[in-house]
Amino acid sequence: MINQRIRIGFAPIARPTFDLGLARDLTAQVVEALAGYTLMGSSELVMDGAAVQSRISELADSRLDMLLLLQASFADSTMALELARALDVPLLLWALPEAQVGGRLRINSFCGVNLAAHGLRRAGIAYETVVAAPEDPTAHAKLHDFARAAMVKRRLQGARIGRLGENPEGFDTCLVNRAGLRSQLGVEVPQYELTPFFQRAREANPGRIDALAERLRTRLADFDAHDADETRGTLGAYLALDELAKNEGLDGVAVRCWPEFFTDLGCSACGAMSLLSDALTPTSCEADVNGTITQLILQWLSGAPAFGSDIVAFDLDTDAATLWHCGLAPLAMADPAVPPSATLHSNRAKPLLMQFPLKPGRVTIARLSEASGDLRLVIGGGEMLKAPMAFSGTSGQIRFDSGAAAVMDTLLGKGLEHHVSLVYGEHRSALEMLARMLGIAVLRL
C-alpha cells in the first residue's frame, strides 16, 4: 500500500551508438519490476536534449517523491545533470550489469552512471546508486527504502504539528525550534492554548462520548472500574484533539499533559493521546514537538502507529532496557496475549490510561534530536521481548542490537532527550537515507 502511493519520476537514459535493443529490453524489465509503485514518465529512452526537455515537461507537475535515472546504456553526464537540476527531488541512479562473454560492450551502463555520479557530485547534487540487474532483490530493497524516505521528505514539506501549551519547566528536551524545523524540514508548528481547548473538551458531544465509551468497553478490561465523569473527561479530550487536528489540518499534536489536565480538566490526557496515535495522528506528551515529528516520520515509513516513550531502566546483566510511559501507547502495540486494561495515572490517580505490555517483535527506535544544538537523527534498532509489565501503564523490554551498555552510554554521554520514538519493523536504512536527503547528521544508538 505504501509503495502504491509513492510517485517515481522515471527517465531511462541512453545513447544511440550503443545496443538500443538490449537497452529497451532491460528498461522494460525494470518497469515491470516497479509495477507496485506509481511510475511517472514513459519507458521511451531519453537520448538527446529535446527528449530531456520533453521528459522534464512531462514530470514537472507530477508532485514526484523521487527521480529514478536508469542508465539504460552509456551516456555522458549532460542529460542526468539537466534532469536532476530541473526536477529537484531525491535522485537514485541505477546502473545495469551486462554479461562479459567477449565481443562488443553493448550498453556500458556502469561507465555512464560513473560519469553521472561525478558530474552530480561536482554540482553539489545528492544521489544514491544501485548497480544491479532489474530483478535483483537487494536492489529492490534499497529502492524501497529510498522511495519511502523520499516520500517522507516530500510530506514533511508543509507538515503541521500543533503544540498545545508549553513544555514544563525543566524539560528542555521538549523545547521547540520553530525556525530550524521550518528551514530544514519544512514543518510548521502552530501554537494552541490549553484554556480554550479544555472548554472544547468539556463541550464535546455527549452522544459521541457514549459511542466511544461503548467501543472501548469491548477493548479494555476494567473500563467501568474508575470514576465515570473523569473517564468521560479523557474521552471528551480525545474528541476535542481529533477535531482540532482535522479543523486545523494538523499531522500530529504535542500536548502539555500535566499538570493542567489533572488540575483543570480533572482527568488524564494519556488515554486520549493513545487513541489519537492509534488512529494515525501521532501525539507526544510534555509538548514534545520533535518527538511528535519523529513519530510521524516512523508512521509514514511503516504505515503503522508509532509510540513516544521514556527509557527508564537498563539491566546490563540481561542486556535489556525498559521502555515505559504512563499509558499513551497506541493499542495496536498491545501484546495480543495480554488483554489491555483501563487504569489510573500512577502519580495523579486519574483515568483514563491504557495499560498493557508491548508486543514482542522487531522495532526501530528514532529521535529527532537537538541535544548538540543542531538537528540530527538518532537511530537504533532492537527486539522487543516477550515480558510481563515492568510498571503500570505501557512498558516493554527491549534488547538493542548494539547492547544495553552502549545505548546507555550514548544516551547519557551525548545528553540526548529523554523521549525516544518506536515503531515495529526494520526501518533504519530508510531513516539514514532520509537524514542524508534532509542534510542532517545521524547518531546511531
Per-residue pLDDT at 253 exceeds 80? yes
pLDDT at 261: 94
* Res. 101 pLDDT band, cuts 50 70 90: confident
Mean pLDDT confidence for 376-389: 96
The pLDDT > 70 percentage for the chain reads: 100
Any residues with CB less than 8 A from the CB of 373 and at least 6 apart, and which? Answer: none
CB atoms inside a 10 Å sphere around CB 123: 12
The pLDDT > 90 percentage for the chain reads: 96
pLDDT in tens, 330-376: 999 999 999 999 999 988 899 999 999 999 999 999 999 999 999 99
pLDDT at 103: 86
Alpha-helical regions (H) of 61-136: 78-87, 109-122
Q: How far apart are CA 28 and CA 35, in angstroms?
A: 11
Q: Copy the grid coordinates of residue 379.
A: 537511530
Separation in Å, CA 227 to CA 39, 258, 329, 347: 54, 19, 22, 16
What's the whole-model pTM score? 0.96
For 161-444, CATH number out of 3.30.390.10, 3.40.50.460, 3.40.275.10, 3.30.70.1070 equals: 3.40.275.10
Question: Which 3 state secondary structure label does DSSP give 400?
Answer: strand
Question: Which residue has cell 514530470?
Answer: 59
Fold designation for 2-147: Rossmann fold (3.40.50)
Give which of 90, 63, 140, 138 is closest to 434, Cα–Cα: 90
**Amino acid type, 313:** A
Give which of 263, 267, 286, 305 is closest to 425, Cα–Cα: 305
Would you kindly state where each structural domain of the chain is located, as residue ranges?
A: 2-147, 161-444
pLDDT at 99: 87
pLDDT at 4: 79
pLDDT at 241: 98
pLDDT at 432: 98
pLDDT at 1: 61
pLDDT at 3: 82
Cα Rg of the chain, angstroms:
25
